Amino acid sequence: MKNIIVGIFTLITLGLMAWTASQGGAYHGGQHNKVIADFGDSMGNAAAVVIPDEKSDREKENEALSALRDKAGNAGAFKVSREYKSKCSSCHGVNGSGFQNGKAMMGPKIFGQSADKLYTDLINFKAGRKENVVMRGLLLKLNEEDLRRIADEIGEFPARAEAKAQSKKAI
C-alpha cells in the first residue's frame, strides 16, 4: 500500500513539473523582475563608476602580510605565560584586550586593570560572590597563590606592551 501511495505522489509531482514547464517555467518575478533591470538605467549619469588603479607587487605583498598578521591575532604583541594562555586568553584575548582578530571576545577587557583589583575579582569569582559559571569553573582548583600570580601577570600587561612598543621603535 505504501508503494502505491508513493507512486501516486511521484506521478502528481512529475505532472506538476511538466505543467509548470509547459506554462513558461516557474515564476521569477514577472513584470516586477524587469524593474530591477531598468533600475540602473533610471539613474542616468548621476554617478560614475570609479575603477581603482592596479596595485604594485610590493603593495599586494604588504596587504597580504598585514592580513596574515591580523589573522594571527595579537600573539606577537608580548609574551604571556602558558597558564594565562590556557585559562584566560580564549575569553579575554591574547593580550587581555577583550578583542582578537578584530572581533569582540566573550570576556571583558582586563588589560589596564590593577593587579589588586584583578586579584579581588578572581577571589570573588572563585567564592561565588561574583557570578560567572565559566570563571568559577576555571578558578575552582586554583589556590590563592595561583590567583595572585595570574592577577600580577595581567596587571603587568600595560608595561609589557609599552616595552614591546619601545623595542619596536628602537629597531
Domains and CATH numbers, the chain: 81-170 (1.10.760.10)
Q: How many CB atoms lie within 10 A of CB 130?
A: 14
User: For the chain, how many residues are written?
Assistant: 171
Percent of the chain with pLDDT over 90: 27
Could you report the per-residue pLDDT of 56-97, keeping only the tens digit for each? Answer: 888 888 887 766 655 554 445 678 888 888 888 888 888 888
Could you report the per-residue pLDDT of 94-122, keeping only the tens digit for each? Answer: 888 888 777 788 889 998 999 999 999 99
Cα(137)–Cα(87) distance, rounded to whole angstroms? 10
Q: What is the pLDDT of residue 40?
A: 52
Q: What is the mean pLDDT of the chain?
A: 80
pTM: 0.54
- Which of 6-10, 73-77, 153-157, 158-162 is predicted least confidently? 73-77
Q: Helices marked H in the chain — which ranges?
A: 2-22, 30-42, 57-72, 82-87, 89-92, 115-127, 133-139, 144-155, 157-170
Cα(44)–Cα(141) distance, rounded to whole angstroms? 70
Cα(3)–Cα(116) distance, rounded to whole angstroms? 74
Higher pLDDT, 38 or 162: 162
Q: What is the pLDDT of residue 159?
A: 86
